[in-house]
Structure 1
Amino acid sequence: MSKAKIIDWRRAAPDSVVFVSGPEEFLAGRAIRMVRETLKGQDDALEIHEIEASDYSAGTLLNLTSPSLFAEPRLLIIRGLERCSDDLISDGIAYLEHPTADTTVVLRHNGSSVRGKKLVDAIRVSSHATEINCAEIKKDADRVSFVQAEFAHADRKIAPAAVRALLDAFADDIAELASACNQLLMDSSETISESVVDRYYGGRVETNAFKVADAALAGKSGEALSLLRHAIATGADPVPLVAAISMKIRQLAKIFGNRSASPQSLGMAPWQVDRARKDLVGWTDDGLANAVSAMAIADAAAKGAERDPIYALEKVIHLISNKGLSESSN
């Protein structure tokens, strides 16, 4: 049974040894920063050292944590435990037996290898340690929970439609998503609505493009065309718009013939696979082939092959809204 305390990254706090595990670097960075800021707030004389685990040499841990002449509190941050030296493993295990008073040692391991397992196991059974697990945020549901928690932590409310708009605007980068949440938290609105999100981020090409694609895939041709025209009117270039919509169609094509494939084998995030499977309802082999061909034509048009690239985009939006089939074929 593990003796180390296990806490959520939002509750990161100092301990003799703080083990920050898991692949989500953004969350790990925030947890480590919270520990540092807490210690700094307790004593401005805090002495801070940061080292890389791969560069560690025997005795360094003892040297950096030994009490100084004036007994200042200390913080030692050791990053890259997944690449640690043998010396750090042995010194770390010994340190866990008798950690130095008024000293916090933070050890960061991203889980990319089993290197340092012996030290990790020792940390997890140590009563002197706290573990903060920073699991990767990949699934759409996890991202929704992250956004909701950011606002709940600040005792603020955000509407479900606003959450969806934020996730559409910041599809890949959790750091950008967190930054957007922080900016919205400074807004005076009691509840963050979709219109508030659009006011801040509606001009992002990514937001407009994915909204256009989502409306078309939902069969809402009129809404998709309206969004497309709004995107163009607010300065969006046709090339990235076509690229974003094409990405959605390529994801459908990847899933169509292999619906049981793992996200890893498809080169997609789990939430993207879940979304594509839902969007595929009603599509046929012929319809998908037509959509892929139409996107290629629209891409060429956007890059100068035709005089009116917007018309080509409108045509492909109509086609996608009709599951890739012309109205005459229905």
Structure 2
Amino acid sequence: MVLISGPEQFLADRAARTIRETLRSADPSIEIHDVDASGYTAGELFTIASPSLFAEPRLIRVTGVEKSSDAFIDDAKRYLEQPADDTTLVLRHAGGQRGKALLDAVRGAPGHALGAVEVPCAELKKDAERIGFAQAEFRRLGAQIPAAAVRALVAAYGSGLGELAGAIEQLVSDRGTRLSEDDVVRATEGRVEAGAFKMADAATAGNAGEALLLLRQALLAGTDPIPLLAALNMKVRAMARVFGAQGAGGQFAKRFGMAPWQVERAQRETRGWREADLARAIDLAAETEWLLKGGSRDPEYALERYVLFVARRGRG
């Protein structure tokens, strides 16, 4: 018995696929049955799990347990008391309170000697979590890549784990198992996120000319100004968070909710800033967002002004 819990659908799909492939490799004759818990009717689970003429092993995959019918909850609890032989039951619960009593029962079920197995699929929201996921993917594929290149790849593929995992597999397939930052740059050229973070990096590093060039290239290519602003705002907020903090990044990581490398990078980027100017940058960020969302007839100029303010560290 396996419970796949949590909202991250990519990880859940991968876990379900791994279970299916493992069982099929052990016995190609395995029967696979899919059940939707939200539309379940009483007795369906027992009908599927009942012994067949040739006693083939079974895999029963139940989706939508977080929306299950009362009939499924009742039948599943009864099934836990006497699971069918040679049957693997996989329950997919994406989160929420519906079916909690069933989940509690599954987690305490004696199913077999090792009990039920739970595969947690939590949403990876923080940069550090997504970077950790990417590093694990490269290790799984036997690839070596610098930490900076991993961070750049995560920044470029920020819309979902599936897209990020696919990009990693493609990168290893195309470039081999010894990768560099240049490999990532070539692979992410043209992506909005990659261009936005390059521009933001140049601005916070004090390279005004490069930042403006990258900004204008992105705008001429048709990039919406909002993602460009968001990339710069993220870095400015990180700088404001760590301003005045002295010491190694590891000391402040938990306090600021950032990875140690993020703290150290933000600390470097605050050099040359005065506190009042950084505070003004935060105010200007909000003002620029308003201007980009209809408060100005020339939003591109507003964004250029903000980029220059950051690149010049509030001076000039």
Query: Taking structure 2 as the reference length, what is the TM-score of the superposition?
Result: 0.78
Conserved in 1, the CA contact under 8 Å of 2:200 and 2:235?
Answer: no
Alignment pair present for 1:236 and 2:221: yes
Give the AA of the match of 1:85: S
Alignment of 1:217-256 (within 5 A): 217-228=204-215, 231=218, 236-237=221-222, 239-240=223-224, 242-248=225-231
1:100 to 48, 66, 84: 84
Q: What are the ranges of 5 or more consecutive residues in structure 1 without an aligned counterpart?
A: 1-16, 260-269
Cα distance in 2 for residues equivalent to 1:246 and 1:68 = 61
Q: What are the ranges of 5 or more consecutive residues in structure 2 without an aligned counterpart?
A: 243-256
Cα distance in 2 for residues equivalent to 1:162 and 1:257 = 25
Distance apart, 1:230 and its partner CA: 5.9
Distance apart, 1:118 and its partner CA: 1.9
Alignment pair present for 1:83 and 2:95: no
Give the AA of the match of 1:288: I
Alignment of 1:1-330 (within 5 A): 17-113=1-97, 115-128=98-111, 129-228=116-215, 231=218, 236-237=221-222, 239-240=223-224, 242-248=225-231, 278=266, 282=275, 283-293=277-287, 305=298, 314-323=304-313, 325-327=314-316
Give the AA of the match of 1:61: L
Conserved in 2, the CA contact under 8 Å of 1:20 and 1:132?
Answer: yes
The change in CA–CA distance for 1:110 and 1:291 in structure 2 (over 3 A counts) is closer
The change in CA–CA distance for 1:37 and 1:143 in structure 2 (over 3 A counts) is same
Distance apart, 1:106 and its partner CA: 0.5
**RMSD of Structure 2 on Structure 1 (CA):** 3.5
Report the equivalent of 1:6: none
SS class of match (2:10): helix
Cα distance in 2 for residues equivalent to 1:243 and 1:134 = 30
Give the AA of the match of 1:319: F
Cα distance in 2 for residues equivalent to 1:137 and 1:35 = 22
Conserved in 2, the CA contact under 8 Å of 1:157 and 1:190?
Answer: yes
Cα distance in 2 for residues equivalent to 1:91 and 1:291 = 55
The change in CA–CA distance for 1:230 and 1:191 in structure 2 (over 3 A counts) is farther
Seq. identity, %:
42
Greater RCO, CA 8 A, separation 6+? 1
Query: Taking structure 1 as the reference length, what is the TM-score of the superposition?
Result: 0.75
Distance apart, 1:317 and its partner CA: 2.5
Conserved in 1, the CA contact under 8 Å of 2:239 and 2:266?
Answer: no
Distance apart, 1:256 and its partner CA: 11
Cα distance in 2 for residues equivalent to 1:108 and 1:66 = 21
